[in-house]
Copies of this chain bind each other. A is one copy, B any other.
Amino acid sequence: MEKQEGKLPFASDYMHAAHPAIMKRLAETNLLAAPGYGTDGFSRSARERLRCACQTPEAEIHFLVGGTQTNAVMIDAFLRPFQGVVAAQSGHISTHEAGAIERGGHKVLTLPHRFGKLDAGELERFLNEWEQDENRSHMVMPGMVYLSQPTEYGTLYSLDELERISRVCRKRGLPLYVDGARLAYALACPENDVTLPALAALCDAFSIGGTKCGALFGEAVVIPQRDRLPHLFTLIKQHGALLAKGWLAGIQFDTLFTEDLYLSIGAHALREAERIRSAMEQQGYALAVPSPTNQLFPVLEGERLERLTQRVELSFWERLGQERCVFRLATSWATRPEETDALLALL
């Protein structure tokens, strides 16, 4: 959908290019020569910073371009051909990746979700049922678990919830992979208690999103246990996910993980989101989802719907009835306080 002049840009968190600190550094380094495919010094430095932030000195780290390809590569890397990936029905891989996982030959085994979240108990029940099913050798075998933090609904797994899921996975030897496309907005959230080291301790791999969190593009994949996935580089290449000028991703992640820029990007977006959330609650707007991060899901109808959609770029989310709709509204590192002010004035 086309940006219309003059509308306030709250449709998504990937409507602006790069955080100025990143753009500045890209401009400064523009004429340097560097070797390709992530073998450069910027990428090495970025990897070191990420290992440090995650407290995983041994972690293997790759930089990919986008989220869909990152999920597809990692799922391909963990699974054997007869296995599928367990995910919430609302998981990005099961809804909005155009069948990228199935293209790799793997079924997405979906479970019900609560505002985007898997439940450890439900997961365990599902795995138990599979194990007890007399026909299981004719069925796709659950081979790993996928979840997103924050979820597609902007909600967060608590540390306790993630630990319970991780335990269920480890008991059965199932890799756990966390899609962190919007991870900055989880890490900076006051109610979040899942830190980077916690992710590194509980998952077999997770991504740290750049595209939606200040970079032009780029997702970092962290695999805490080195050599867990041999020849991943070649698999990335095979997926067409290997950036020729890999240092461009390296520079971006190096900058994002210098002086806590990644966290401060998240904090800024959450502050602006919180201002909108409070104002909406005060004005009696219903929010369809109790999301504490940078995505809000107001229920709009009647005159409010008309007014807001005319002046603000929002994402349509879901129709609730003839005249009531849920929209998604997202803040980001790029949200200017005066844009938030203008939005508040419209409520």
Contact = CB atoms under 8 A, between A and B. Distances in A.
Interface residues of A, number: 82
B245 A216 contact: yes
Contacts of A212: 244
Interface in A63-102: 65-70, 72-73, 76-77, 80-82, 84, 95-100, 102
Contacts of A233: 137
A297 to B, nearest CB: 15
Contact of A105 (B65, B69, B105): B105
Q: Which DSSP category, helix, strand, loop or mixed, fits chain A's interface?
A: loop
A233 B80 CA distance: 13
Given A1-B39, A32-B16, A69 B245 contact: no
A92 to B, nearest CB: 10
Interface string A310-330: 000100100000000000000
Interface in A235-274: 235, 237-245, 247-248
Nearest to A24: B27
Contacts of A244: 14, 66-67, 211-212, 217
Interface string A93-130: 00111111011111110000000000000000000000
A68 to B, nearest CB: 4
B27 A12 contact: no
Contact of A34 (B3, B80, B141, B234): B3
A159 interface: no
Given A3-B40, A245-B217, A234 B141 contact: yes
A2 B234 CA distance: 18
Contact of A15 (B33, B108, B235): B33
B82 A211 contact: no
A296 interface: no
Contact of A98 (B18, B72, B77, B82): B82
Interface in A4-35: 9, 11-12, 14-18, 20, 23, 26-27, 29-35
Contact of A241 (B73, B102, B231, B240): B240
A15 B36 contact: yes
Given A30-B20, A81-B103, A99-B82, A137 B237 contact: yes
Contacts of A234: 82, 98, 137-139, 141
Given A15-B35, A135-B96, A81 B235 contact: yes
Given A69-B241, A134-B316, 9 more contacts: A1-B134, A2-B35, A26-B26, A84-B99, A96-B135, A99-B106, A137-B231, A216-B245, A240-B241
17 contacts: A2-B40, A14-B245, A16-B30, A65-B65, A69-B239, A72-B240, A77-B81, A82-B99, A82-B234, A96-B139, A99-B238, A103-B105, A138-B237, A141-B234, A216-B248, A217-B248, A239-B239
Interface of A: 1-3, 9, 11-12, 14-18, 20, 23, 26-27, 29-36, 39-41, 65-70, 72-73, 76-77, 80-82, 84, 95-100, 102-108, 134-135, 137-141, 211-212, 216-217, 231, 233-235, 237-245, 247-248, 313, 316, 334
